[in-house]
Structure 1
Amino acid sequence: MKINVGRVRDYLIATLENTQDHASESPELMHLIAQMDGIFHDEIFSLPLSEQSAANLLIINAYTMLLAGVREALSGHVVCVFPIVRAALESSCYAYIIANDASKADVWLDRHSSETALSKCRKMFTAKKAVDILKSSDPVMAEYVWGYYEASIDFGAHPNTKSVIGHLSNSGPAQDGLHAFEFTSVYGKNSWHVNHALFVCVEAGQAIAYLIAASIDNHPLIHERGEIFQSWVDAKNRMVEELTGEPCGHTGPVYSSVRPPL
């Protein structure tokens, strides 16, 4: 087996060129990112956040990590989006756990003080624990959050087959009697994969926005303005139906069932 890999300079040039091209001419689905950002600023950050300072730090971290996922999508290195948005989702899950029990903030803050504290924090702060709490108030959204978290692991947050073999293509016979395969790490500007990665960020944003709102007592985005959030989800689903020509009946994330064109 022979391997031919580009150097770091080649990688940096390719990702920088993608980012610059997308800055001058946005990808097709970038309007969904603008819509998402509007929801965060108009419906969440324009109002007081949690009374728990630790929860607020985690909320801000979730949002900034989500932005990092968008930037990675625009670079074309789309598989890197998944570990970033999973971390963003986990941050909002941790905020939600603390919001439901303020005493757990000390466990999170004390994580690195001892091996015992580390073990306690690891057991208490997981996405699954947040989902289990959410089930009592909104089982549909709990299913969505957990479905997104699990799918992110399959698609790139862990080096599983979908995140590795899924980017392999058959190039046919090569020299010296070898057969060539190409592994694509950086996709071109406005490609299907770049737009799909932006869509991945939007669906993460919906889970994160909901968890943030659920972390705050009687938040308008869930209660009297719940139609704003629902219309955001409905608009996303309609777009998927228009692109695929099939009804979107998912209660979980849509991105994991959308396939690239042959």
Structure 2
Amino acid sequence: MKINTGTLLDYLNVTLENSNNHVQEHPQLMNLVLQMDLIFQKEIFDHEFEVNPIAGLLAMNYYTQLLSAVNLALPGNQAAIFPNVRTALESACYAYLIAHNKAMAEVWLNRHTTKNSLDKCRKIFSVKKASNDLKNLSPEMAEYVMAHYNAAIDFGAHPNRKAIFHHLTDMGEVDERHHGFELTCVYGRNSWHVNYALLICTEIGQAIAFLPAACTEKHLLIHDRLEVFESWIDEKNQMAEKMNSEPLDYSGPMYCSVIPPE
């Protein structure tokens, strides 16, 4: 086997060029991402609500992780966004659990105090537990959150087959001894894959946005202003359908069934 790759400076130059171009001329789905940010700002962060301070810190963390994912999507690093969106979703789930059980804040704070503390924290904090608790409020969103977590792992938060093969291109026979494959690290500006990455960020953002709203009783976003959330989802669904060449599977994260053009 022989591996040929660009240098670190090659990588930095091409990603910087993509980012600069996307600042000047937004990718197709950037408006959807900006709408996501507006919903977080206007529907969640602009309102005061009673919540444990640790849950508030986790909320700040999930937002910064989500912004980091967008910041990786814009230079063309589609595969690199998944560890960030996974961490963002986990932070939102942990905030949700602490908001409904204040005693869990101490468990989270003492995670690294002793081996028993670490084991206890690992046992009671999980996306699965948050999803199960969420079923009482919204079985659909509980399933959606869990599906997103599993998909994030499948598509890049772990180095498994989907995470790698989705970016692999068969280049054919190189010579009598070698067959070539290309693993794409950075996609071009306003490419299908850049917009696909922004779709993923938006869809994960929708799962995350529901969780802080579910932290408090009768939050406006999922009660009096539920139509704002539903309209946002409808717009995302329309964009996903435009990106795909065949009907989509609506049972889980839509990006799982969106396929690139030939």
State the TM-score bracket (shorter-chain normalisation): over 0.9
Hey, what's the Cα distance between the residues in 2 that align with 1:173 and 1:240?
A: 35
**Would you say the 8 A contact 1:76–1:186 is kept in 2?**
yes
- Partner residue, 1:135: 135
* 1:217 shift after superposition: 2.0
- Counterpart amino acid of residue 51 in structure 1: V
- Partner residue, 2:200: 200
Hey, what's the Cα distance between the residues in 1 that align with 2:198 and 2:41?
A: 19
174-183 or 154-163, larger mean C-alpha shift = 174-183
**Would you say the 8 A contact 1:50–1:215 is kept in 2?**
no
SS at match of 1:111: coil
**Would you say the 8 A contact 1:62–1:91 is kept in 2?**
yes
- Partner residue, 2:163: 163
Hey, what's the Cα distance between the residues in 2 that align with 1:241 and 1:64?
A: 28
Structure 2 runs not aligned, ≥5 long: none
- Partner residue, 1:189: 189
What whole-Å deviation, never above 9, does each CA across 1:180-202 have from its counterpart, x for those lacking one? 11111111111111100000000
- Partner residue, 1:234: 234
* 1:73 shift after superposition: 0.3
- Partner residue, 2:16: 16
What whole-Å deviation, never above 9, does each CA across 1:205-229 have from its counterpart, x for those lacking one? 1011000100122110011111111
- Counterpart amino acid of residue 136 in structure 1: N
* 1:7 shift after superposition: 1.4
Instruction: Tell me the percent identity.
Output: 52
**Would you say the 8 A contact 1:98–1:104 is kept in 2?**
yes
User: Normalising by structure 1, what TM-score?
Assistant: 0.96
**Would you say the 8 A contact 1:30–1:198 is kept in 2?**
yes
**Would you say the 8 A contact 1:49–1:56 is kept in 2?**
no
- Partner residue, 2:252: 252
Hey, what's the Cα distance between the residues in 2 that align with 1:182 and 1:239?
A: 29
* 1:124 shift after superposition: 0.8
* 1:241 shift after superposition: 3.0
Confirm whether residue 69 of structure 1 aligns to residue 69 of structure 2.
yes
How many residues align structurally?
262
* 1:235 shift after superposition: 1.6
Confirm whether residue 150 of structure 1 aligns to residue 150 of structure 2.
yes
SS at match of 2:220: coil
User: Normalising by structure 2, what TM-score?
Assistant: 0.96
- Partner residue, 2:180: 180
- Counterpart amino acid of residue 78 in structure 1: Q
201-210 or 216-225, larger mean C-alpha shift = 216-225
- Counterpart amino acid of residue 225 in structure 2: R
- Partner residue, 1:43: 43
- Counterpart amino acid of residue 47 in structure 2: L
* 1:24 shift after superposition: 1.0
239-248 or 10-19, larger mean C-alpha shift = 239-248
SS at match of 1:75: coil
* 1:240 shift after superposition: 2.5
SS at match of 1:112: coil
* 1:243 shift after superposition: 4.0
- Partner residue, 1:101: 101
Hey, what's the Cα distance between the residues in 1 that align with 2:72 and 2:177?
A: 37
Confirm whether residue 124 of structure 1 aligns to residue 124 of structure 2.
yes
* 1:246 shift after superposition: 5.1
Structure 1 runs not aligned, ≥5 long: none
Hey, what's the Cα distance between the residues in 1 that align with 2:194 and 2:85?
A: 15
